[in-house]
Structure 1
Amino acid sequence: MIWFEIHELGFVHQFKHNLSYHQSRHTFGTLMASAGVPMESIAKMMGHTNIRTTQGYACITDDKISKDMDKLIAKRKLNSANSD
């Protein structure tokens, strides 16, 4: 039933290629990681017993890296201001 629903979404949105269950899981993992959801939580949601499996699905995007770097810079600035 899930395959049918995913296939229908692709058809309705006129994608050139069929969508797959694997693509939907990979997209879910990537979106959750990009939103800052911890890997442990994503692993649990996806039913993985090994977090390395989750890390394979949830590849880190350039946007996520940029946001993480912004957080690090802001934290360092805050720590620097507090130490003065």
Structure 2
Amino acid sequence: MRAARDGHFYGFDRATGAFQYGEQYPTIVTWSGGIDAKTGRPNKYVPGAPLQKYAPGSVADRAGAVGMFCPAIGGGKNWEPTSYNPALC
């Protein structure tokens, strides 16, 4: 399991590293629209796009529109990164 600063917990298979699940943990996450259960990527992810615009209104743009992005740039957590030591299992 990994608590990422993007506002989601991610679970991975410890043997293969394959994505298992992704869940939102802060009260508000405006940018992603959730995590795709099959790919582990944000629901509005566009492969190959030079810039990802996940949710309308979540980012500012060159036209001067102001966006609301949650969690903020500092992230949705203040915990230390997770780690794995196979010798302890």
TM-score (norm 2): 0.23
Please identify which structure carries the higher helix content: 1
Task: Return the structure number with greater relative CO, CA threshold 8 A, min gap 6.
Answer: 2
Please identify which structure carries the higher strand content: 2
TM-score (norm 1): 0.24
